[in-house]
Amino acid sequence: MNTVIIGAGINGEVCANYLARGGHSVTVLERADRVGGACVRHVTDIDGQTFSFPGGASVFGFMQDFVWRETGLADRLQFEPADNVYYYPAGSRGSSGPWRHMEEEDSPQFHADGEKVAAFLQKGFRDAEVPTLESANRQIGPELTKLWITGSARDLVDHYFTSPEQKIAIVLSVNESGPVGIDEAFSAFTISLMHTGSVDSEGRWGYVKGGIWRVTEELERLNGRLDVTTVTSARVLSADPDSGRVVYEKDGVTTALHADQVVFATEPLTAARLIKDRSLEEQISGMRLMGTSGKVVMFFRDHPRFKDGLGDTLRFLICNTELDVFNEAALSVKQSATADFVPGYLELYPESRSDDLGYGLLSVFFKHVTLGKIGEELSHVRQFVVDQVLALLDNPEDFIGSILRTPQDLCTVFGFAGGNIDHVEIANPHTYVGRTFSTHPSESFFQFGSHRRVYYCGAGTYPCGSVAGTGGYMCATQILRGQ
């Protein structure tokens, strides 16, 4: 069987790996000059010095441990788990430490139920099963299905906690990529997903030694050993969904390939346009595509040292410490035509913690920033983020400079429709049973539209994006089964 995969991000590379080991002849086409998608190394010059930094994703999580092992990544890369996550109210300046009383109200039942839901979801990933509410009700029961899958994030945290700070800490992930309200149906499902990673035995997120971009770089090398052909700087011109004929251009030369299956590991609008399915394109255009996450990368002469003395762990700065205010901020940029930025929360990732880079590197993902302006137009937003972080450090004098990436930058740099790194908001109706573009999801969940030989496994499909490859694995498995 000949398979052409369009897009060499994490899902495209994982899909190629499993299909090649399953006996397929695989060609991967990538429009950029290197593999990686949003898991890629970028460089910048500041004061004559060259710095490497992750252009898209920073922290490593969500990849299932079996994907880590079976692809061969576990033998080639070193994972550095983060020891813990600490939460601070923004403006606390870090010297007084995080919200310590959160530990006093920790809920064993929340963790026990979360692990039960996670085990159910992980089994579905492993078996490449079509997600259904029937299987959820049958395996974890109607109460947990309602709380953790179909219900709202607010109802979930209200069920287990009373502390506003603890509730905020749990719901942060709900609108991490887009403007999703915590009262929306299925918004609890994002919290469920957070329990399903990672390659670490304790489920901790963390870093890849040498940079997160090594995940896709090593996958390309591993796939090469499986005789996968990868063509970079390849601009796909068309993909015929009926014949499987894919035409691309590289260095002025046009080439046609014939495939039994075509797999798109792109964002969904690009896929619909390439197969010239206007009905599917209109459907996707009407989906909730908007992203509201920004990213500031901060560079230091030396590794940043935090006043709290807690080492190189993950830290969240919370700008809104009441649920209603938090929720209003999440929706503000979407609802206002004039709001460029409304402070929400900042996620601090000390990426140079395990690498001898010769400089310090700190990535800060933050909420909520407009779609429509590039980072160079929002210097005041970048300065706000930088000021918040420097107030936490013992060595702010080592700060050299920073780069801001906005949702509009994601559109330009990576081609993400709506500037959403997950391609589609993790929100009703585009999550769990609805996170598919298939006309017949019960028969072939990763089929693209109604096209028998065309599949989609980009971040817009189940379960979500991030550097996980779960969608790529599940898609490949269903193809190998003949679904």
Tell me the per-residue pLDDT of 198-242, one tens digit each, with 9 for 90 and over: 898 888 888 899 899 999 999 999 999 999 999 999 999 999 999
Question: Which pLDDT band holds residue 297 (cuts at 50, 70, 90)?
Answer: very high
Run of H or E residues at 80: strand 79-81
pLDDT tens across 80-119, in order? 888 788 888 877 665 556 765 455 567 899 999 999 999 9
Q: For residue 11, what is the enclosing H or E element?
A: helix 10-21
d(Cα 258, Cα 67) in Å, to the nearest integer? 29
Q: What share of the chain is helix, strand, coil (3-state, %, to 5)?
A: 35, 20, 40
- Which amino acid is residue 307, in one-letter code? K
Under 8 Å between Cβ of 73 and 222: yes
Higher pLDDT, 414 or 94: 414
End-to-end CA distance of the chain: 14
If one counts every other C-beta atom within 10 angstroms of the C-beta of residue 35, the result is 25
The pLDDT assigned to 378 comes to 95
Give yes or no for residue 248 having a pLDDT over 90: yes
Q: Cβ distance 158 to 167 under 8 Å?
A: yes
Nearest one of 447, 439, 451, 454 to 474, comparing CA atoms: 447
Give pLDDT, residue 300: 94
Residue 171's pLDDT is 95
Find where tokens 């679904």 sit: 483
Residue 314: what residue type?
A: L
Are the C-beta atoms of residues 266 and 7 closer than 8 Å to each other? yes
Report the pLDDT value the prediction gives residue 476, as an integer from 0 to 100.
98
Binned at pLDDT 50, 70 and 90, residue 444 comes out as very high
Residue bearing tokens 């063509």: 231
pLDDT of residue 353: 66
CA distance 223 to 217: 10
Q: What is the pLDDT of residue 354?
A: 59
- pLDDT at residue 181 tops 80: yes
As a whole number, mean pLDDT of residues 451-459 equals 96
Residue with tokens 């999580």: 61
Q: For residue 218, give both structure tokens.
A: 């090593």
Strand order in the sheet with 345-350: 85-89, 314-318, 345-350, 360-367, 293-300, 399-405
Whole-Å CA distances, 333 to 89, 178, 287, 368, 471: 21, 10, 18, 7, 30
pLDDT at 64: 94
pLDDT at 257: 97
- For 324, residues 6+ apart whose C-beta sits below 8 A from its C-beta are none
Confidence of residue 455 (pLDDT cuts 50, 70, 90): very high
Which strands make up the sheet holding 235-239, listed edge to edge? 235-239, 245-250, 253-258
> Mean per-residue pLDDT for 164-176?
91
Residues 412/42, Cβ–Cβ less than 8 Å? no
Cis amide prior to 429 (ω within 30 degrees): yes
pLDDT of residue 42: 93
CA atoms within 13 A on the CB side of 276: 9
pLDDT tens digits, 32-61 = 999 999 999 999 998 888 899 998 888 888
pLDDT tens figures, 3-19:
999 999 999 999 999 99
Report the pLDDT value the prediction gives residue 60, as an integer from 0 to 100: 87
Mean pLDDT of the chain, nearest integer: 92
Output the pLDDT for position 89: 84
Confidence at residue 105, expressed as pLDDT on a 0 to 100 scale: 61
CA-wise closest residue to 458 among 410, 434, 424: 424
Distance CA 147, CA 307 (A): 38
Does residue 337 have a pLDDT over 70?
A: no
Task: Check residue 93 and give its pLDDT.
Answer: 63
pLDDT of residue 200: 85
How far is it, in rounded angstroms, from Cα 289 to Cα 416? Answer: 9
pLDDT of amino acid 365: 95
pLDDT, position 232: 98
Q: Kindly report, residue by residue over 463-482, the tens digit of the pLDDT.
A: 998 899 999 999 999 999 98
Q: How many CA atoms lie within 13 A of 483 on its CB side?
A: 18
In whole angstroms, what is the distance from residue 86 CA to residue 309 CA?
12
Q: Kindly report the pTM of this predicted structure.
A: 0.95
Long-range contacts of 69-72, Cβ-Cβ distance < 8 Å, separation of 24 or more? 70/18, 71/14, 71/17, 71/18, 71/219, 71/222, 71/469, 72/218, 72/222
